[in-house]
Amino acid sequence: MLKVQYSLSEHRFRIREVFFIIFALLLLVSGSVPLHAAEERPLVYILEVEKTVTFGTARYIERGLKEAQSNQADACIISLNTPGGLVDATLEIIQDMSAAKIPVITYVNPEGGIAASAGTFILLNGHIAAMSPGTTCGAAMPITISPTEEGSQAADQKTINFLAGHMKSIAEQRGRPTDLAGQFVTDNLVLNNREALAKGVIDYVAADKEELLNKTHNTTVMINGQKLILRTAGAQMVTVPKNTSEKVINLISDPNLSMIFLMIGIIGLLIGFYSPGFLLPETIGAICLILGLSGMGLFQGNLTAGLLILLGIGLLVAELLTPTFGILGIGGVVSIVMGILLFPKEPLMPERWFTAFKFTALGVGLVGAVFLLIATLGIAKLRGRKPSQGNMESLEGVVTAELNPRGFIRICGEIWQAEAQNGNTVKEGELVRVVQRKGLLLLVEAINQNENGG
């Protein structure tokens, strides 16, 4: 009897234990539901395109789309506020957008923002296009700079026809009105957000990204020939910043900055050529020249203009080597300025950019002229000085580049190549005395060492 009671008690204990476990599991499951729901929250990546569209922008868009796809984002928003940019960079962006395996939403914002010229191409290529209140798009007629006229002028008809046809192709692919798309290029058509929505150029007007994602929720888009229903309401938004490489490419692919780097590089190397031994001008000049040439390779240029720039460099070098008293130098500066003005052939850059570029070219010419004046006066002064090459023994100088055993010294304001007579190292800044001259090489001895030895 006692054994039966014990078994019954044990049985009841086990039943209570099972109920307790079931209850704990229910609590655990109910507590995990919000977490699971949070994990299922839609993910949207944000790529911000501001100012001029350059190859730095293209690299940024390419990386951002790949990152969004690898993280299985539900969509990617390209936020636009740009007056235009480089043609090749814009075409690369369009290709990357078209190849994307996730929906790409183009969105002109904030209020007062624009998507002009190259920005209009990008706007129309979105699977879904939207604008903020108070924004505008259009004005995509290709233009070119004219050195003899104020501002800029329309590009040749071949360029206009090509870009108009490409804009129509983009609009047709996305189901937008092709006639209006062509007018953006041929007639410089400009539409505000209300007009663009009414004419079917864009799909939505939204005050901010949250409102935009709520409006696009449950919208059907075509991705690589397949229908996809967007899930964007209440999405988690991740903004992708530009990395260092993209910032550098963005910097040097701007034609304005590229030409400035080029001129600084030219002047730096000429200073180094004129006054060897300092190394700093040559180093800075070489770095800037590489940056300038790299930037010039990233945008469309005019071959004739490139030859004018090379001619100008050659004339400046000749000016430093021959006593023309500025004639070759002036020709060099004029040649470089004309080459810079004619070099960029970027029809989708904003018109105001061309005006600024003219001032850049004139500024480069002014700096070159000042450098030329200083160099010419310096050369004239040296040529008017009595030559000291006849008897230089016992003259004292200062080491400007360490003698190990060869380096450079300054004597009477001139830079000479020198060699320590005893083969020892003489550090920069130490005093030396000329012992013997061998052509353009001076044999010297350290004054301190000589005096101590005596």
Q: How many CB atoms lie within 10 A of CB 341?
A: 24
Whether 317 and 270 have beta carbons less than 8 Å apart is answered as yes
Question: DSSP class of residue 276?
Answer: T
Clarify whether 117 is annotated catalytic. Answer: yes
Tokens of 206: 């939204």
Tokens of 65: 């789309």
Alpha-carbon distance of 193 to 206, in angstroms, equals 10
- The dihedral through the CA atoms of 356, 358, 361, 366 has a sign that is negative
Tokens of 340: 């810079």
| Active-site annotation holder among 30, 70, 158, 227 | 158
**CB-side exposure of 313: number of CA atoms within 13 Å?**
19
Question: DSSP class of residue 43?
Answer: E
| Active-site annotation holder among 79, 117, 132, 335 | 117
CB neighbour list of residue 93: distance below 8 Å, 6 or more residues apart: 53, 57, 58, 61, 62, 122
Clarify whether 438 is annotated catalytic. Answer: no
Question: DSSP class of residue 389?
Answer: -
Whether 340 and 312 have beta carbons less than 8 Å apart is answered as no
Residue with tokens 């209440």: 234
- The dihedral through the CA atoms of 191, 197, 199, 200 has a sign that is positive
Whether 45 and 67 have beta carbons less than 8 Å apart is answered as yes
Q: Is 410 helix (H, G, I), strand (E, B) or coil?
A: strand
Residues with catalytic roles: 117, 158
